[in-house]
Chains A and B, each alone.
Chain A
């Protein structure tokens, strides 16, 4: 159970090697060691390293195999975690692909893989986790969206389109589950220096995962439904949305 200050006892990370998710788990449990964490991810070195990084901060970590492109895999993973009890306080939906955007919009396999992972699987997991948290009568979902979900841009519109769908789904899921005591926090980070963005040029207002994590934890504890990271991006995006198309398209973003 979550306590009155937002300390938690059990967390599930779908996409358990995500840098932002791991930073979020660390920030969320900073004042309360011994929290149970389950990392759902593909088996391998990255998962092993993720486990090690959380064990060193005093968390009790377990692993479960999870493959976002395989419905059976994620159904089994989610069922096994919830069935093993006790209640899961927070589920972080952190899996996602960025890919080579310029290649992806011209290649059907690459495009559909992005849609499958970032949207279809995110919806599938949201439905399953939503059912479980609803039955518990409490809990929170952190859905890792992106500012790209708010506004399609030439440079990453395929990624943006998948996140836009995912973002809309989780925003609505939050409304649907509010009366069941379940909070859904949609997170819209800007550019974050992570494994996913390695090799890309940093955009303005770029940040590290720990900064995003602090914003997520504060948002969870304040009962928010949407947060931007950095927070100022909320107003930046709002401004950009109101620019005339020809002006917007000429911006170097």
Chain B
């Protein structure tokens, strides 16, 4: 796949919308990366990992996109301190396969293992454990950043540039390496409790009351349910399984981690396949398939965290027009806003597979880091319905009025003025970027669209 040569390619994010053309270069050595900055044209450079951002974050139309997946070595592992140094293109999948047998698990994992460490830092990703462990930035001890003048800076959390980079969407410079602290686990399994919640009030109450008993917590909401069932959902919460809780037959191989890819989705699905009717049937079946309540179930890490990774290129089921992910957070106390958003979505009947609701704990220190204490809702919506623009504009207004914000790694459609309102530290961040990236050598379609 990596030929070592430049190639002009059309790139999109995971949502497969808004393609743009860029010269894709495989990341070479540090010196080569540094040299590349000098030769980059007026349209600049952005790093790209595994392309899991939904929107245009890893696109750079007319410019250079550096494919970081060629820099994917694990440089050092210290099992005593649980510290791991990796190149930015190493994926979380790779880290799990390599380190779970040693009893080390990534501190934060999103819904897919197929993201690079560099991309994960640039988006300051969060997982189901945000209420306990915060976002990824908290677990990064240092990172090496190539800045616009071609020098590489070793940054630690004492440096403001570090926090401008954590969540900075690759716009402070190019992340080359990072050291992160892994989490110790006794097994590659989780102990999971599953509960069905009849509506949104039931759900929020249960999460608020008992989330602190679990490391991981997530609810899947049926967005098409309405009336008294509005927000009906399945809440799954769990913690890493200690050895003594595993059944005997798993105990001998407790740290085995060999997730399999079951299939690859072919590029044959038409847009519009996922419509209100098909999704309603799916959601109904899924809700009733879940147990009313089940405690102490043992699930593999892959099944619990990454159910969609079983099908490669699952984004293709949305067809050629693609889809977008709408993810926002509203602060605690804005439960009414959350309810109104669910009502609007349910009323509009925009086909969405299950939406995901999580509770965020305290915010991290990244200037543009997404998580703030509150409720975060994420849903996938196929592109195509003419009403989508107006519906999402109205949701934006609700979110902003409640003091909430959107997640840049997911966004593909916000107007520029909204970002300034959602991220009050944007100007502070810009001041730092003026130093590390004065001529905007590092830029992306996202940066252009949002005028970051």
Contact = CB atoms under 8 A, between A and B. Distances in A.
B62 A1 contact: no
A7 B61 CA distance: 17
A117 to B, nearest CB: 31
A136 interface: yes
Contacts of A31: 389-390, 393
A113 B75 CA distance: 70
Interface in A122-166: 134-138
B15 to A, nearest CB: 6
Interface string B10-32: 10000101111110000000000
B63 A4 contact: no
Contacts of B389: 5, 7, 31-32
A172 interface: no
A138 B21 contact: yes
Contact of A137 (B17, B63, B388): B63
Contacts of A32: 389, 415
A1 B19 CA distance: 11
B321 interface: yes
B169 interface: no
Given A4-B412, A138-B61, A223 B20 contact: no
Given A138-B62, A179-B21, A3 B43 contact: no
Interface residues of A, number: 24
A4 B415 contact: no
A42 interface: no
B213 interface: no
B448 interface: yes
A5 B383 contact: yes
A86 interface: yes
B449 interface: yes
Interface in B377-417: 383-384, 386, 388-390, 392-393, 412-415, 417
B116 to A, nearest CB: 22
A182 B62 CA distance: 11
A9 B449 contact: yes
B89 interface: no
B167 interface: no
Nearest to B323: A4
B21 A1 contact: no
Given A7-B413, A87-B448, A137-B20, A181 B390 contact: no
Given A136-B62, A181-B19, A181-B21, A5 B413 contact: yes
Interface string A1-28: 1111101010000000000000000000
Contacts of A5: 17, 324, 383, 388-389, 392, 413
B154 interface: no
B61 A3 contact: no
B222 interface: no
Given A4-B17, A4-B322, A223-B321, A181 B61 contact: yes
A180 interface: yes
B211 interface: no
22 contacts: A1-B18, A1-B56, A1-B445, A3-B18, A4-B18, A4-B412, A5-B383, A7-B389, A32-B389, A135-B43, A136-B61, A136-B62, A137-B63, A138-B18, A138-B19, A138-B62, A138-B445, A180-B8, A181-B10, A181-B19, A181-B20, A181-B21
Interface of A: 1-5, 7, 9, 31-32, 34, 86-87, 134-138, 179-182, 218, 222-223
